[in-house]
């Protein structure tokens, strides 16, 4: 059941009331990037009240939950992923009262609320770091990762930053280096210090008491570092992967077995899970950022039922072409590595080029919309939970942002070889004929691409065949099929252009067929009884001896 909350009612007050602790398994989670969703203040930056205003739209999609990217107080050097106060809302986004109202409205509409917890690092303006860097003897001196220079003054080891250059930054006050896996203004917390863990768990409890239903844990495998600060070894050039960092960044040249992915993390995740278990129906998804060991980390972090509920991997977030063989390989490797684990799949998010542009070259222009429909149905038919990124339901493509309009420090650092993440973060387009597409009455923080106006919500809302309504239709269909939500998955065929798999729960089995080709394909009719299902928006045709699949289309049937 959905537990509705009154404004100001805390989650603690709900203990003892009926709750579905398993709601996350097979949930569809809609990611909201608050800066770009809806501005209500006129400053060109989205805000909490804007999210609340648009929640009926989100609910109309048929998703189960929202994930809100960081809105905490921050100097915004990395747009909220550099937190300077974990217990407050940045004034550009609103107030804690605004957030309480958002939770109340979301729960009224039957939506769970998950928030992005960024606890591997803070801003260098966080009071913890200000105190820590003041001396080597203060109460928080060991709350961050500090180390002496080598005798020649160089950094303690060869660890690199994802954002470029050394992962160490010199501090003249302490006459030491501190570790930063991202910007130099994002110092890493020292999880080997139990007091740090306790403080972060207190932050977690603060938001649980405000009524959140779960968390997305940013960079979950970066929490611990090698205490001996040993160098990372070089990575075989044939294994370099640009999923985590762009190919122009030498970060990909190291095998990151020392600066992240440490075994001590499992014990902290158990502590985190134990805290969540004190509250009804709380769930967490961990973002695993690793190109070499991702699936094994997912397996470790979701095993045993005492750590993460699910993990968010990068397997489908790369530019590698999506084919039946590739999908089957990823699913197979996950099932082998984590037979008892649960994945959370995504094709797009706020850190990577939108999949509509990553894979656009694979199809002809006139097939583009149908290809996106096929991809959406595929994503929401895989075993696991699903994250949808705002705007993908509109078919938005990656925006081409001019250098003078860039905001992302990542893109500014590596431009023009890598243009950063601004292209996937441009504002939502609500109304095609309004300033900034209805996002704001002011100048938006990133420009709204003219071509996005043709995909605005108001143009698609009442067009039955629109991409937006395809998402709605398929999500409605999915809610009626328990096998698609929580069922097991078995790949039957992935050769050629058609992916065929089953989803089964109890005595119910569905067969799903997805055509990745721009031509008609036929698949032999399975032995035994089969009934074609309707309502999912695809037009695969069940015939006497085979099943016909139009270009970039699908068939879903029930096996009798």
Catalytic residue IDs: 218, 278
Contacts of 237 (CB under 8 A, 6+ apart): 253
Backbone angles phi, psi at 559, to 5 degrees: -85, 125
Backbone angles phi, psi at 376, to 5 degrees: -65, -40
SS3 534: coil
Give alpha helix (H) positions in 405-544: 409-414, 457-460, 467-479, 482-486
Q: Contact at 8 Å (CB) between 444 and 427? A: yes
> What residue has token string 């077995």?
257
Whole-number Å distance between alpha carbons of 43 and 492? 53
The CA distances from residue 341 to 189, 273, 347, 506, in Å, are 28, 15, 20, 19
Whole-number Å distance between alpha carbons of 1 and 14? 13
Q: Cα 271 vs. chain centroid, distance in angstroms? A: 23
- Report the first-to-last Cα separation within the chain, whole angstroms: 30
Cis check for the bond before 91: say yes or no (omega within 30 of 0): no
51-52-58 Cα angle (round to 5):
70
Paired sense of beta strands 65-68 and 112-117, if any? parallel
Backbone angles phi, psi at 221, to 5 degrees: -90, 5
What string of DSSP letters covers 24-52?
A: TTT-EEEEE-GGGT--SSSSSS--HHHHH
> What residue has token string 């050039």?
237
């Amino acid at each position: 059941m959905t537990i509705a909350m009154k404004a100001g009612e805390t989650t603690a007050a709900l203990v003892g009331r009926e709750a579905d602790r398993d709601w996350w398994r097979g949930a569809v989670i809609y990611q909201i990037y608050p800066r770009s969703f809806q501005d209500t203040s006129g400053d060109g930056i989205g805000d909490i009240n804007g999210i609340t205003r648009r929640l009926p739209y989100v609910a109309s999609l048929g998703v189960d939950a929202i994930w809100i990217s960081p809105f905490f107080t921050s100097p915004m050097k990395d747009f909220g992923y550099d937190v300077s106060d974990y217990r407050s809302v940045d004034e550009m986004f609103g107030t804690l009262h605004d957030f309480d109202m958002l939770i109340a409205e979301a729960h009224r509409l039957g939506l769970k609320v998950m928030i992005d917890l960024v606890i591997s690092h803070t801003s260098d303006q966080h009071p913890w770091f200000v105190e820590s860097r003041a001396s080597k003897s203060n109460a928080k001196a060991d709350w961050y990762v500090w180390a002496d220079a080598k005798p020649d003054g160089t950094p303690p080891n060869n660890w690199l930053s994802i954002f470029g250059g050394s992962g160490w930054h010199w501090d003249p006050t302490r006459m030491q280096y501190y570790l930063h896996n991202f910007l130099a203004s994002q110092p890493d917390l020292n999880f080997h210090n139990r007091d740090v863990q306790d403080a972060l768990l207190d932050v977690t409890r603060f938001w649980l008491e405000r009524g959140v239903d779960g968390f997305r844990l940013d960079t979950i495998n970066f929490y611990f570092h090698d205490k001996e600060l040993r160098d990372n070894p070089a990575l075989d050039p044939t294994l370099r992967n640009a999923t985590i960092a762009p190919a122009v960044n030498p970060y990909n040249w190291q095998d990151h077995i020392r600066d992240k992915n440490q075994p001590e993390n499992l014990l902290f995740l158990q502590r985190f899970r134990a805290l969540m278990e004190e509250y009804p129906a709380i769930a967490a998804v961990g973002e695993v950022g690793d190109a070499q060991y991702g699936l094994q980390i997912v397996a470790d972090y979701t095993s045993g039922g005492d750590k993460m509920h699910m993990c968010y991997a990068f397997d489908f977030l790369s530019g590698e072409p999506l084919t039946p063989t590739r999908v089957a390989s990823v699913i197979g490797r996950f099932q082998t590595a984590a037979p008892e684990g649960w994945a959370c799949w995504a094709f797009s998010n706020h850190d990577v080029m939108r999949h509509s542009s990553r894979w656009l070259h694979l199809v002809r222009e006139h097939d583009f919309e149908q290809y996106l429909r096929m991809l959406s149905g595929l994503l929401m038919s895989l075993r696991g939970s699903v994250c949808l990124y705002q705007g993908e339901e509109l078919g938005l493509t990656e925006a081409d942002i001019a250098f003078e309009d860039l905001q992302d420090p990542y893109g500014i650092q590596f431009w023009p070889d890598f243009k950063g993440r601004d292209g996937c973060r441009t504002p939502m387009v609500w109304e095609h004929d309004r300033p900034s597409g209805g996002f704001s009455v002011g100048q938006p923080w990133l420009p709204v691409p003219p071509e996005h106006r043709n995909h605005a919500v108001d143009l698609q809302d009442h067009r039955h065949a629109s991409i937006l309504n395809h998402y709605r239709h398929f999500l409605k269909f999915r809610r009626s099929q328990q096998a698609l939500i929580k069922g097991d998955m078995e790949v039957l065929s992935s050769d050629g252009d058609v992916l065929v798999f089953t989803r089964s729960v109890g005595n119910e089995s569905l067969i799903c067929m997805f055509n990745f080709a721009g031509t008609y394909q036929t698949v032999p009719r399975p032995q035994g009884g089969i009934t074609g299902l309707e309502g999912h928006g695809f037009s695969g045709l069940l015939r006497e001896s085979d099943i016909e699949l139009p270009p970039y289309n699908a068939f879903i049937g029930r096996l009798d």
